[in-house]
Chain A
Amino acid sequence: EVKLQQSGDELVRPGASVKISCKASGYTFTNYAMYWVKQSPGQGLEWIGTIIPLIDTTSYNQKFKGKATLTADKSSNTAYMELSRLTSEDSAVYYCARPDYWGQGVMVTVSS
């Protein structure tokens, strides 16, 4: 069974960084790209970027360049997204996804 298990919800201070993980199981991690999506409270969905674990190649939505950094660890079948210099605008649920499976989401709350 394909599963994308994300790390737990985060409460972080403004200006700090946070790193979210997405552990893949049930398939060959390097065979699929992984993408990340932001869903702000009561809002729609925004594509942040995509990583191809096999060749460590990334592509980003220009809006999130400098905000999000995507990495992947092939040894642990885990994808990561780090968000930096957090503000209240970054409070949202963040999903990792394959085109056919999504993780359960991580709620990031930025508050002092």
Chain B
Amino acid sequence: DVVLTQTPPTLLATIGQSVSISCRSSQSLLHSNGNTYLNWLLQRTGQSPQPLIYLVSKLESGVPNRFSGSGSGTDFTLKISGVEAEDLGVYYCMQFTHYPWTFGGGTKLELK
């Protein structure tokens, strides 16, 4: 199975600070069809996960543009340019390229 390793496991930030989360894959996530099926989700406390980004860098509808995704192959990054209070929670990366689909272990974003 593809292992997705997220770092850091916990991220302390102040409001307005820019932060980045890394997601490293044990295998390339480039599909034979040319797409890279790497998504990012946010799970706020007590809520279901909310998709933020798909295909590495495309924002889901309604997601603020302070969120951005980048990367290729095995290394991916989620950046938040100016953390807001509503951004707190656990971030997960997820890959759909290889079966079984797998998730990263999560990065908890908290206020410093």
Contacts and interface: CB of A to CB of B under 8 A. Distances in A.
Given A47-B100, A61-B101, 14 more contacts: A44-B103, A44-B105, A45-B92, A46-B103, A47-B103, A63-B100, A99-B96, A100-B51, A100-B60, A101-B51, A102-B49, A102-B50, A102-B51, A104-B48
Interface residues of B, number: 19
Given A46-B103, A47-B103, A102 B60 contact: no
B69 to A, nearest CB: 14
A105 B92 contact: no
B61 interface: yes
Interface in B37-79: 39, 48-51, 54, 60-61
Interface residues of A, number: 20
A102 B102 CA distance: 16
Contacts, number: 42
A33 to B, nearest CB: 10
Contacts of A99: 39, 51, 54, 96
A81 B100 CA distance: 18
A44 B51 contact: no
B89 interface: no
A47 B49 contact: no
Task: Please list the 6 inter-chain residue pairs (A to B) with the smallest Cβ-Cβ separation, ordered nearest first.
Answer: A61-B100, A47-B101, A45-B103, A102-B48, A105-B48, A100-B51
